[in-house]
Amino acid sequence: MLTPPIGVLGGTFDPIHIGHLRPAIEARDALGLAEVRLLPNHIPPHRANPLCSSEQRLAMVRLAAADNPGFVVDERELRRDTPSWTIDTLVELRSELPDTPLCFLMGMDSLLGLPGWHRWQKLLDYAHLVVSCRPGWQPDYSVQVAELLARHQTRDIQDLHRQRHGHVWLCDNLPVELSATRLRALLAAGQDPKYLLPNPVADYIRRHGLYRSSATQ
Ligand code: ATP
């Protein structure tokens, strides 16, 4: 007997914003996720180091989670001193939660780039993939991603409850045209970020003087 699925959302969260949170809230509600785990990356394998410290990003993610029922923070990737490969995290979660379907949440940009991920073909052996639409990223699939969808896409929500892993779900979420890059630029220009991220996170950024200089873009 399986327990209800949980969502897992990894990210740099530099800072966390509504482009992360709205699709996750909609996935929680539409798919009946028992929980959404926010997993801040420590050493992002595919990108430059984040601007804020791990502690600051974690503090902001904690504030965002506290604001949303069912959201929890998973610090495991921050505690590692090796790269945060998603596959390693999913293997660990699978062994800790043997009877829980795992829904790995990602934006369309991540799905398009999936063939560049470490051991990407193994991801579906451990989790479902739940993909949110993201403005600027059209579903213009490479052959590899098109093949993945042909084999694994489902339109039946119950598949995400009946099986622990192995399906891809494309969300019909409200598109949110925001990136952390854009938000950092806005903050560096001294603009008010209200409604682009949770108020407690905006307060934290203000109190700690984060993202202030134009050098932080
Ligand atoms: P940056 O601009 O610094 O690259 P980002 O805003 O893209 O950051 P990440 O922390 O890199 O945020 O993203 C974590 C996950 O959230 C990824 O799977 C990404 O696709 C997804 N995501 C981020 N922003 C959005 C958005 N506006 N809509 C849908 N998904 C998003």
pLDDT digits (tens, 9 = 90+) for 114-132: 999 999 999 999 999 999 9
| Spacing, Cα 137 to ligand 1 middle (Å) | 11
| Spacing, Cα 107 to ligand 1 middle (Å) | 6
Q: Which has the closest alpha carbon to 106: 82, 129, 90?
A: 129
**Judging by beta carbons within 10 Å of its beta carbon (0-12, 13-18, 19+), is residue 102 exposed, middle or buried?**
buried
Cβ neighbours of 131 (radius 10 Å): 25
pLDDT per residue over 193-206, tens digit each?
Answer: 999 999 999 999 99
Residues with Cβ within 6 A of ligand 1?
11-14, 19-20, 23, 106-107, 109-110, 132, 134, 176, 178-181
| Spacing, Cα 147 to ligand 1 middle (Å) | 24
Question: Which of 12, 86, 104 has the most ligand 1 atoms within 8 A of CB, as the residue to mutate?
Answer: 12
**Do residues 117 and 144 touch, judged by C-beta distance below 8 A?**
no
pLDDT per residue over 140-163, tens digit each?
Answer: 999 999 999 999 999 999 999 999
Q: Which has the closest alpha carbon to 101: 159, 155, 47?
A: 159
pTM exceeds cut of 0.85 = yes
Per-residue tokens: 23? 């699709």
| Spacing, Cα 64 to ligand 1 middle (Å) | 15
| Spacing, Cα 35 to ligand 1 middle (Å) | 19
Which residues, other chains included, contact 135 with Cβ-Cβ below 8 Å and sequence gap of 6+? 175, 176, 177
